Amino acid sequence: MSELVTVKIDDREVKVPDGVAIIEAASLAGIDIPHLCYCRCLESTGACRVCLVEVEDTKGLVASCSRKVKDGMVVYTNTDKVKEARRFVIELILSNHPGDCLSCDKNGACELQKYAYELGIEKTGFSMKDPGYAIDDSNPFIERNYNLCILCGRCVRICKLKGADILDFARRGMLTKVTTPLDKSLQESGCDFCGSCLAVCPVGALLEIDRRFRGREWEMKETETTCSYCGCGCGLSFGTVEGEILRATTKDPCDYLCARGRFGWDYVASPERLTTPLIKKEGALTECSWDEALSYAAERLLKLKKEHGPESIGGFIGAGSSNEVIYLFQKFLRACVGTNNVDSSARLLGFPGLLDFCETLGGEAIASLEDVEEADVLLLVDADVTAAYPRVGVAVKKAIANGAKAIVIDPMETKVAKLVSLYLRPKVGTEEFLLAGLLKALLDEGLFDEKFAKTKCDNFTELKKSLNGFKMEGVEKKAGLPADTLKEAAKLYGEGKRPVVLFGAERVSPQSLKLIANLLLLTNRLKGSVLPCLLLSNLQGAVYMGALAEFYPGWKRATEIKDKFKKAWGASLPDAPGLSAMEMLEKAGSSILGMYIIGGDSVAQFPNATDATRALSSLDFLMVQDIFLSETAKLADVVLPGLTLPESDGNIVNMEHRVREIKKCVESPVQSDWKTIAELSKKMGCDMDYSSEKEIAKEIKLLFSIPKRVGKGSCRFMVVEPKRTGEKPDSKYPLSLVTGETSFGFYDGIRISHSKLSSLEPYGGEYVGVSPEDASAMGLEEGSRVRVASRRGKIEASVRIMDSLPRGLLFMPSHFGKRNLLTSDDIDPETKGPRCRLIAVSISKGGKK
C-alpha cells in the first residue's frame, strides 16, 4: 500500500494514495472530472483533452487522467479556463459528428451527449459534418460505425490488453481512423469477438448488432448473473426488453467477457427449443402433457425398481446445470430411486482425479484469477487458456504484461505459447516424462523445500528413490527436450516468488495430475499456487453436489457420510457403491436397464459414440431432459424440456471454488428443472417438496458449505512412473488426434450450434486440424475433404491447416459432434473416467464437400 498524500481539489482536501492520477484522486473526493478517452483499466493517453484541469503553480492546463498527484497539490476542476477548454473540445468533437442522436442506440448512454448536455452546448460554433465512412456490419455481432467515432482509442487499448490486439489508428490528422490490419473485416483480422471494445466505447461507434433499434439503454432491464459456459464463471449482465435478451455485457466495462459469454446467448430464444414433453409412441416421439410424461416415467421407473432393484437404474447429469438442480437430481436417485448410480460430466472432464489432487494439497492450494494475474512465474500444462477458458487467458496475458515469466508445456503451440519466456514442446503424449524431468531437475538443483518435504510430507524417500533411477537423457529421448531446457524451466519455476501452475483438467492424464501435485509439494507451494482449469461452468459445483457415484454432497465419500444424509433426507440410502457413467454404459442392457439423463448430450460427449449409442438404445427405459432434441434425446422413451441457465435462478461453483449466483433474466414457458425432478419424485411416492430454488439452496447450506476448505492436505508424494499417454499410433493408424477447444465453439456443442457464434467457426467446427508439414506430406490443402479413421470408426471432415500443430498430431474441436465416433472409451481404472483425449487415427483423402 502506497503512502497517502494530501491534495486539495476544488477546495476539498482529500487524502489519496501517492501516485494516483488526479482524476482518480478527484473521484475519491467525490468529484467526477469529465473525460472521454480515460478508462480506469487502461493506460491513460490524454488524447481527448476533456479532463483538463488547472493545477496551482503549473503552466497551462493539465490532463488529469495522466498527471499524478503530489503531496500538497492544489487542483481546480471547474474554473472558467477549464470550462472554456472543455467546451471547446466538445464543440470540436461535435463538429465532426453526424449528430443523429434521435435514432442512435446510445442515446441516453452516450458520454459525448452527456457532456454536451452538461455544458449546455445547444449549437456548435462549427457546422456538423458526417465523415462519411461506410458502416461495417459484415460480421454477426459488432457494428462499427466510425462516423460516430471520437477516436478516444479506448477500443484500441482494450483490444491490446484483453483482445486479439487487432485494432490501431491508421492515417493521420483528420483522416485518422481506428482500423484493423489492412482494413480487413474483423473475422479476417483474427478478432476474438470478446467485444471488450463494445463495453468501453463511450459513443455509438461500436454497437451490438443484435440490439440495433430494439432497445435503448434506459429501456433495457439489466439482470446481473453468471455466464454458463466455461468454468471461469464470469459475471455478466443481460439486457432484456420485453422478455428478450438484447445483449450481454458486464456491469463494469473493464470486466472481461469472451465471445461465448458476450454473444453466445441467442440459443436461449432459438425456435428449436423443446417446450413440450415427448413420449415415444409406436417408435416416434410424440408431444404430450407434462403430467402424462411424468406419470409415464414414474410408472416405468417404479416398475424397473420393483422388478430389477434400484441398482438397475442410473442417472447422469451435465455439469451445465445449477447446484440446486444437480443436488436434487442426485438426491432423487439416492433417496427416491435408492441407487448410488449417479454421475455427471465431471467424470469425463478430469474428476475425480482432481478431487484426490485437492485432497493431497489441501484446499488453500487452489489459486484465484487474481493470484494468476499477480503471479511472477506461470507454468501452464496442456492448457489452451485463451480458447478454452478465455478469462484465464486474459489473466495470464495480464501477468505476462506485468513482467511474469511463463512456461508452457503443450504439444500444441497455443496463442499463449507464443507470448511466453519458455515454450516446452514435448512430443505427443509425453508430458509425463517432462513433468517427471522437472521434478528431477528441481531435486538435482536443490530448488525445493527439503525440510518441508522431509518432515511434513509422506513418501519423500520413495519419491527420491523413484527419481534417482530417472535419467534426464530419457526425457530428451522420449519427450524430445534437452536436459538443459528442463533445468532452465526448473530454475524459473523454482525461483519464482509467487508462481502459479495452471493445467487443463480435461486434458492432463491422471498420472500427470499426480506429478503436478508432487511438484507443488516438493516446492511447498500450497497456497494459491495452482489453478486446475475447468471446462464447464459447474463442474466444480457438480462435484460439491454429489454428482459423482462415489461421492455424496459436500465432497464426501459415500461410505463415510451416508448416515448423515440418511438422517437429513429421512430416507434409507443404498449401500452398494455407485457405478460411474462409463460403467453404466458398459452395463447398459444387462444390469442397467433404465436411465435418467439431464443435459449434456451424452451421445455427443461420451467417447466411442457408436458403443454409447448402442448402450443407450439397449435400455428398457431412457428419459432425457434437455433444452434441445439432442442426439441422446432422440433415443429416449420420454423427453422433457429443460431450462437454460439464463432462465433459471440458482448457484454454480467456478474453477476458483467461488460460488456464483445465477439469476433468471427471461421467463420461459418451460418449468424449472428442479420442479420437474420434484414432481417426478412425488409421482414415485417419495415427495421432495420444495417451493423454490432458494429452499433447495437452504437445504444444501445446512448440510455443507462451499468452498469447503479441505484443510490441510494429506501431503503425500505419489510415486509415478511416467508413461506415454494416449493410444499408441501404429502402421494402420499412424497419427495422433487430440480434441480441444476453440474460441467460438463449446464442448457441449448443442448451445453454440443454435447460436450465431457457430458461423464464426471455420467449416462450422467440422474440421480436422493438420500441421503444415503433414498437410504437405499428404498433399492436403486447406478445405480438402478427408476421412479420419480410428479403431472405433471413421468420419469425414474438412482440413484446416494449423500452424500450432506439430507433425504427427491432428486436432478436432471438442464440439464437432461426430468426433466421438473416433474416440476411445478406454477407462482409467483408478478414476473410472476416459483415460486420455489422445487417440491413434489415420487420415485419407476423399469425402463429400
Partner 1 sequence: MSKNVKKQEAGNQGHGTRKPSAQIIIGLGTCGIAAGAWDVWTAFEKELKKRKVKAELKQTGCIGLCYREVLVDVVTPRGKIAYGNVTPAMVSRIVSSHLIADKPIEDWIVLGDGYETSDTDFLARQYRIVLRNCGQIDPEVIEEYLATGGYKALEKVLREVPPEEVISIIKQSGLRGRGGAGFPTGRKWEFTRRAQGDKKYIVCNADEGDPGAFMDRSVLEGDPHSVLEGMLIAGYAIGADEGYIYVRAEYPLAVKRLRIAISQAREKGFLGKSVMDTPFSFDIKIKEGAGAFVCGEETALIASIEGRRGMPRLRPPYPATSGLWGKPTCINNVETLANVAWIVSNGAAEFAAIGTEKSKGTKIFAVTGKVKNSGLVEVPMGTALREVIFGICGGIKDDGEFKAVQIGGPSGGCLPAELLDITIDYESLTATGAIMGSGGMVVADQSTCMVDLARFFLDFTQNESCGKCVPCRLGTKRMLEMLTRITRGRTRDDDLELLETLARDVKVASLCGLGQTAPNPVLTTLKYFGHEYDVHIKERRCRAGVCTELVTYAIKDNLCKGCGVCVKHCPVDAISGARKEVHHIDESKCVKCGLCMEHCPFDAINKV
Binding residues (CB under 8 A) for partner 1: these are: 44-50, 52, 60-61, 63, 66-68, 81, 84-85, 88-89, 92-93, 95-96, 125-126, 150-151, 153, 168-169, 171-176
Indicate the residue among 58 and 185 with the shorter CB distance to partner 1: 58
Q: How far is the CB of 81 from partner 1 (least distance, A)?
A: 8
Report the nearest approach of partner 1 to the CB of residue 75 (Å).
16
C-beta of 60 vs 779, nearer to partner 1: 60
Of the pair 132, 271, the CB lying nearest partner 1 is at 132
Cell match 453454440: residue? 752
Residue closer to partner 1, measured from CB, 44 or 725: 44
C-alpha–C-alpha distance, residues 563 and 585, integer Å: 29
User: Considering only CA atoms, which of 103, 188, 68, 87 is closest in space to residue 138?
Assistant: 188
Q: Considering the complex, what minimum distance in angstroms separates the CB of residue 128 from partner 1?
A: 12
| Helix 558-569 / helix 693-703 crossing angle, nearest 10 deg | 130
Which residues are paired to 7 by β-bridges?
14
Which residues have C-beta within 8 Å of that of residue 219, sequence separation ≥ 6? Answer: 241
When the beta carbons of 111 and 626 are compared against partner 1, the nearer one is 111
Name which of 67 and 154 has its Cβ closer to partner 1.
Answer: 67
Name the packing angle between helices 353-361 and 510-522 (round to 10°). 10
Task: Identify the three-state secondary structure at position 407.
Answer: strand
Nearest to partner 1 of 85, 441 (CB atom) = 85
CA-nearest of 230, 247, 346 to 743 is 230
- Going by C-alpha positions, the residue among 221, 150, 160 that lies closest to residue 192 is 160
Q: Could you tell me the maximum CA-CA distance found in the chain, to the nearest angstrom? A: 92
Q: Report in angstroms how near the CB of residue 19 gets to partner 1 at its nearest.
A: 12
Q: Are 229 and 261 in contact (CB under 8 A)?
A: yes
286: Cα separation from own chain's centroid: 36
Nearest distance from C-beta of residue 96 to partner 1, angstroms: 6
Q: Tell which residue, 299, 303, 313, 347, has the closest CA to residue 574.
A: 313
| Phi and psi torsions of 124, nearest 5° | -85, 155
Looking at the Cβ atoms of 36 and 301, the one nearer to partner 1 is: 36
Of 42 and 472, CB closest to partner 1:
42
CB of 151 to partner 1, least distance (A): 7
Q: Which is nearer to partner 1, 153 or 646 (CB)?
A: 153
Q: How many CB atoms lie within 10 A of CB 173?
A: 5
Q: How far apart are CA 711 and CA 569, in angstroms?
A: 27
Q: Report the nearest approach of partner 1 to the CB of residue 126 (Å).
A: 6
Pick 38 or 141: Cβ nearer partner 1: 38
Amino acid present at 683: K
- Of residues 44, 60, 40, 64, the one with CA closest to residue 52: 64
Q: Which is nearer to partner 1, 85 or 652 (CB)?
A: 85
> Which residue, 820, 645, 605, is CA-closest to 229?
645
**Smallest distance, partner 1 to C-beta of residue 14, A:** 22
Q: Dump the DSSP string for 648-664.
A: --EEEE-TTS-EEEE--
In whole angstroms, the minimum distance from the beta carbon of 77 to partner 1 comes to: 15
In the complex, minimum distance from the CB of residue 68 to partner 1, in angstroms, rounded to a whole number: 8
**Among residues 171 and 849, whose Cβ is nearest to partner 1?**
171
Least distance to partner 1 from the beta carbon of 37, Å? 9
For partner 1, the closer CB: 95 or 459: 95
Shortest reach from residue 117's CB to partner 1, in Å: 18
Angstrom distance (rounded) from CA 147 to CA 141: 18
Query: Using alpha carbons only, what angle is made at residue 557 by residues 551 and 563, rounded to the nearest 5 degrees?
Result: 105
- Minimum CB–partner distance for residue 46 and partner 1 (Å): 4
Residues pairing with 501 in the sheet: 379, 530
Q: Is 509:522 a contact under the CB 8 Å cutoff? A: no
When the beta carbons of 89 and 346 are compared against partner 1, the nearer one is 89
Rounded CA gap, 311 and 770, in Å? 45
Q: How far is CA 570 from CA 125, 337, 344, 565, in A?
A: 79, 14, 24, 8
d(CA 763, CA 782): 11
Nearer to partner 1, 99 or 363 (CB): 99
Minimum gap (Å) between residue 173 Cβ and partner 1:
4
Distances (CA, A) of 577 to 341, 547, 551, 560: 8, 13, 10, 12
* Three-state DSSP class for residue 516: helix
Provide the grid cell at 802.
494449423
Min CB(702)–partner 1 separation in Å: 56
What distance in Å separates the CA atoms of residue 285 and residue 293, rounded to the nearest whole number?
A: 11
Q: How far is CA 536 from CA 465, 611, 747, in A?
A: 38, 24, 8
> What ranges in 412-557 are assigned the alpha helix state H?
431-444, 450-455, 460-468, 472-479, 483-494, 510-522, 539-544
In angstroms, give the least distance from the CB of 403 to partner 1: 11
Report d(CA 470, CA 467) in Å as an integer: 5
